[in-house]
Amino acid sequence: MSEFARNQVEAFPKCHGSLVELREALAGAGVSLPGLRLDPASFGDGDGIPLFDLGRCNMTNAARLVEALRRGASPPGSTSARELTT
For residue 49, is it within any domain?
Answer: yes
Angle at 67 (CA atoms; ends 74, 81), nearest 5 degrees: 30
For residue 34, is it within any domain?
Answer: yes
| pLDDT value of position 85 | 47
| pLDDT value of position 49 | 74
Amino acid at 38: L
- Contact predicate 38/20, CB 8 Å: no
Domain interval for residue 42? 3-64
* 3-class SS of residue 38: strand
| pLDDT value of position 24 | 93
User: Considering its fold, how many domains does the chain have in total?
Assistant: 1
For residue 18, is it within any domain?
Answer: yes
For residue 41, is it within any domain?
Answer: yes
- Contact predicate 57/22, CB 8 Å: no
pLDDT in tens, the chain (86 residues): 666 666 666 777 788 889 999 999 999 888 989 999 988 887 766 666 788 999 988 999 999 999 988 988 666 666 654 554 44
For residue 82, is it within any domain?
Answer: no
H-only helix segments in the chain: 3-28, 59-72, 81-85
| pLDDT value of position 36 | 94
